[in-house]
Amino acid sequence: MIGKLFYFCIARGETILTDYTKNEGNFRTRMPEILPHVTPNRREQLNLSNLKFFVDSSDQLVFIALTS
């Protein structure tokens, strides 16, 4: 089964530089809960409730995709 993409953002540290969604939701308010847990220079999956945040980070930027 293929999941749906609900939200995508690019951040520097804990600052969201840009984001995108076609859906309604509290995605922007939930990002401050996720960004402090991101490990630099790593690809990982962070789970919050039943949501899966796929994270790819470097020294400078963080890319996060929220899927179902």
Look at residue 2 in the predicted model and tell me its pLDDT: 66
Q: pLDDT per position in the chain (68 positions), as tens?
A: 467 888 999 999 889 999 999 888 888 888 888 888 898 899 999 888 777 889 999 989 999 998 77
Interatomic CA distance for residues 39 and 63, integer angstroms: 12
Phi, psi of 58 (to 5 degrees): -125, -170
Strand partners, 7: 66
pTM of the model: 0.82
Please name which of 37, 59, 35, 60 lies closest in space to residue 27, comparing C-alpha atoms.
35
Neighbouring CB atoms inside 10 A of 19's CB total 15
1 contacts 67 by C-beta, under 8 angstroms: no
